[in-house]
Amino acid sequence: MPRVTRPARLTPPDGRPPGHRGRASPDRLSARGPPRSPRAPSGRPHVRRVTVPTCITRGNDAPHLPPPAPEPTVTPVLLASLFVVGVLLTVRLNERVLSVTVAVVVGLLAALLAALALGVGGPRAAEMQLSDLNRAQGVLVAAAFVIATAAYHMGRMMLPSLDRPGRKPMKVQRTAAPTQVQRRTNLTQTQVTSDLRFQDYEVLDRIGVGGMGSVYRARRRQDGRTVALKVPQDKYLADAKFVKRFYREAEVLKRFNHPNIVRVYDYRMQDPEHYIAMEFLDGESLEDVLENRTLTFTESAQIMRALADALRHIHMQNVVHRDIKPANVMLLKSAFTDGALRDGGVKLMDFGIAVGKVLTRLTMTGARVGTPIYMAPEQAKGNRVDARSDVYSLGLLAYEMVTGQTAFKGSYEAVVHQQVFESPKPPKQVRLEVPGKLNDLILHMIEKDPASRPTLDDVIARIDAGVLSDDVFNDPVALALSVQEKRGTLRLLDLKGKLRASLRDQTGGAQGLPGAPNAMASDHEGNMFVTLLDYRQGRSGTLARKLDPDGQELVSFGPYGLGDGELLQPVGVAVTQGQVFILDAEAHHVVVFDLEGRFLRRFGGRGQGLGRFEKPRSIVAAPDGHVYVLDTGNNEVQRFNAQGEYISRFAFRLDRNSDALRPLEGLGVDQFGAVYIVDSVARKVRKIEADGTPGLTFAMETLVGEPADAPWLIQVGPDGQMYAVRQGGQVLRIYSSVGDLLSSNDMYAPVQAMSLLQRPHVLHPA
């Protein structure tokens, strides 16, 4: 009689034991371990309701159960596939490696599918579990990842049009022209040139390669002349527009005969030969020159003149170049002899997008063609271009030659925006050695309004008249500024706000300032007294300096400390009647020195009483000896005599019915003793005459980006014009004596201090 090897409970035909409420996975049960057997109400243990295969044997035969199948996991396979995908996306492999990768993966995939097909149709089909199918599906997904990634790279190799660099953010730099030289090895050149055969020219080697064509050095069979052969890539010859543009350059260049324009000898546009035979130029592009060294101002001016003359020639032929940039200018070897540019030493080339009256139909209306860094605003907006657009581009090219950097930087879109809406930093602000006349000429050439730009005749005339010298700055009064820049920390401006000279740099060495002065004033002899915020910036450990009219240090005084003649936080300085008054915001005192830096006395103190300060911010002095201190904590300006004795105060109520005072933000005084006080509520400068009567008001507006909590620096010129700038701001405002805003001048650096500087040594030189 047969016997059952292990007790099992019979199950209904649907496979569920009686009373079964759910479906439990065998894997889940094995993970939890054997369940406990709860007691039945009768005390007998429950029988596990798990369906197991029943093996029936006869006699003493052992039960025959199938061996457990190994349980491989999908996780290692997926991780390995993701690793391969990452490698394929990161490392640019060649086509052969990608093909082998795809072949291996496809082979493994085919083997897996075959194994699955045999397993499903074999005798063990009933034993296959659902988990095996899940694992197979995971392997298929991993293989699909690898194949898709490899296929993507192969597609990019076979179809270069899939690469769309124009859609990616890019760092704008000088874009290489198709004729830019990129050297290759002799082996590569031999392989490339061996397939080129022309009836009239023998190709020697490739000397340049670009996105749409290559340039070869070739020999004309007729007379042995060495030429530069420009050959388009075969894949572009099917594009009729490209072919028109390519040969338009040859048609345009053949019309010109100028020593500074590359010559075209011949061209052919008949299958199977497409080329332009041009003058072979032995030299390097201006782009390469600027990458390796900085041109002198003399060299820059001569190159400017040569290019201006070349542009004037093509404009007379009703042609506009539209793509002036360093890569399209070639500087020949030995172009300069004894500092002079020889005739034909510089060449203008690449007229591929030049436009004229006859050629405009080949250009789409509104198309932005050109290099954005050197593109005129009207060209960036897609408007009509003319000769004035080339003047603008030449000005930007000159800007780069004299400063060593481009006028605009950023992505393509950012540069286009700057071309239309922003003005670059003047060349003299970038490189202080730039001659003033050259600086002015470049700024004139890059005016946003085409009507405001000079003609090429004007440019050439101004260069011939001399742009390498500055006008002699003999003004008896100047505006001295301290700016937060390493170069040109102390600068002199004329009374129109134009930068004229640089006195000191912030280098930290013996010849430089240890930091940007935060306050400054001058005496009647043109000496300047400046203060620093951090005593550790200088080797002497002092916070005050006396400088001569040329910016050289004469005396260092005011060591850090609380003793007599010592300073903690100087925030203002004033000079009158042979005395130097330094306002110490931390000690709440005014410390008085003589003109040689010797301590005399101090006055003030912390508090709200007369002669005391809560938050002192500015100090000025009138020629009559009166000293004024702005206290933003008490919202008042106190007046003292030269001995430090309190005289009176100025303050403004919020309204007639209020005792609260208006916040004050700035302080100035003119040569007649009138006081200028900035009212932050009314956003005005209120003038108080020397006799105490109210005077004019000047409207003040804080621009976006200016520090709103910083004090205003106020200076009044000899003719009553007022100069105002926020401390830490960059915009200097100039007002007339009647309160009209004359101009707003960008200083291109944060202004820390400002003072009117008397220059008697100019009127009476030694």
More confident: 572 or 272: 572
Query: Among 441, 465, 489, where does a domain finish?
Result: 465
Q: What mean pLDDT do residues 391-410 have?
A: 94
Whether 421 and 490 map to the same domain: the answer is no
Of 370, 294, 283, 278, the C-alpha closest to 330 is: 283
Most confident of 27-36, 114-123, 757-766: 757-766
Give this prediction's pTM. 0.66
Mean pLDDT of 518-526: 94
Of the listed ranges 122-136, 548-562, 616-630, the one predicted with least confidence? 122-136
Please say which residue of 279, 301, 318 terminates a domain.
279
pLDDT of residue 472: 82
DSSP line for 542-574: EEEEEE-TTS-EEEEEEEBSSSTT-BS-EEEEE
Domain-located, residue 178: no
Angle, helix 130-158 to helix 95-121, in steps of 10 degrees = 160
The H or E element that residue 600 is part of is strand 599-604
Is residue 230 located within the same domain as residue 269?
Answer: yes
Q: Tell me what the mean pLDDT of segment 7-16 comes to.
A: 48
Number of domains in the chain: 5
Let me know: does 605 contact 646? Beta carbons within 8 Å.
no
- What is the per-residue pLDDT for 586? 95
Query: Domain check: are 549 and 449 in the same one?
Result: no
CA nearest to 306, candidates 369, 386, 397, 427: 397
pLDDT tens digits along 450-499: 999 999 999 999 999 999 987 788 889 999 999 988 888 899 999 999 99
What is the per-residue DSSP string for 336-393? EETTEEPTT-EEE---TT-EETTTGGGS-TT---S-GGG--HHHHTT----HHHHHHH
Question: Which range is least confidently modeled, 59-73, 326-340, 453-467?
Answer: 59-73
pLDDT average, residue stretch 628-649: 96
Residue 205 lies in a domain: yes
Looking at mean pLDDT, say which of 36-40, 209-213, 299-303 comes out highest. Answer: 299-303
Helices (H), 422-510: 427-430, 436-445, 456-465
CATH number of the domain bearing residue 581: 2.120.10.30
Residues 391 and 491 in one domain: no
What is the mean predicted confidence (pLDDT) over 639-668?
Answer: 93
Residue 131: per-residue pLDDT = 56
Give the domain CATH number at 240. 3.30.200.20
Residues 748 and 663 in one domain: yes
Whether residues 570 and 624 fall in one domain: yes
Pair (330, 437) in one structural domain: yes
342: domain CATH number?
A: 1.10.510.10
Burial class (CB in 10 A: 0-12, 13-18, 19+), 374: buried
Strands (E), 700-750: 712-716, 722-726, 731-735, 741-746
CA separation for the pair 645, 75 (Å, rounded) = 86
Helices 130-158, 75-90: crossing angle, 10 deg rounding: 10
The verdict on residue 483 lying in a domain is: yes
Beta partners for residue 669, in sequence order: 675
Q: Does 456 lie in the same domain as 307?
A: yes
Q: 410 with 457, same domain?
A: yes
User: Is 176 inside a domain boundary?
Assistant: no
Task: Tell me if 530 sits within 8 A of 545, measured CB to CB.
Answer: yes
Whether the Cβ atoms of residue 715 and residue 735 lie closer than 8 Å to each other: no
Identity of the highest mean pLDDT range in 117-121, 174-178, 237-241, 722-726 = 722-726
For 485, the token pair is 């820049």
Q: What is the DSSP string of 231-280?
A: EE-GGGTT-HHHHHHHHHHHHHHTT---TTB--EEEEEEETTEEEEEEE-
Q: What is the pLDDT of residue 161?
A: 38
User: Mean per-residue pLDDT for 61-79?
Assistant: 53
Q: Is the peptide bond before 272 cis (omega within 30 degrees of 0)?
A: yes
**70 occurs within a structural domain:** no
Q: What share of the chain in percent tops pLDDT 70?
A: 70
Query: Is 169 within the bounds of a domain?
Result: no
Instruction: Give me the long-range contacts of 499-503 (CB less than 8 A, separation at least 24).
Output: 499/426, 499/428, 499/429, 500/436, 500/470, 500/473, 500/475, 501/473, 502/432, 503/547, 503/550, 503/551
Is 170 inside any structural domain? no
Q: Is residue 470 part of a domain?
A: no
Contact 234, 262 (CB under 8 A): no
Q: Are strands 627-631 and 636-640 parallel, antiparallel or unpaired?
A: antiparallel
Edge to edge, what strands does the sheet with 636-640 contain?
A: 616-621, 627-631, 636-640, 646-650
Tokens of 148: 């898709």
Domain of 267? 186-279
pLDDT at 537: 54
Q: CA end-to-end span of the chain, whole Å?
A: 138
Mean pLDDT of 68-77: 54
Share of the chain above pLDDT 90, in %: 45
Shared domain for 449 and 519, answered yes or no, is: no
Whether residue 262 contacts residue 306, with contact meaning beta carbons closer than 8 Å, is answered with no
DSSP per position, 169-196 = -----PPPPTT------HHHHHHHHTT-
Single out the residue of 174, 204, 324, 193 nearest to residue 261, CA to CA. 324
Q: Are residues 313 and 450 in the same domain?
A: yes
Chain centroid to CA 336: 34
* Whether residue 273 has pLDDT greater than 60: yes
Tokens of residue 580, six digits: 């130097």
Say whether pLDDT at 279 is over 70: yes
Check residues 715 and 43 and name the one with the higher pLDDT: 715
pLDDT of residue 170: 37
Predicted pLDDT at 541:
78
Tell me whether residue 578 is exposed, middle or buried, using C-beta atoms within 10 angstroms of its C-beta: 0 to 12, 13 to 18, 19 or more: exposed
Identify whether residues 591 and 652 lie together within a single domain: yes
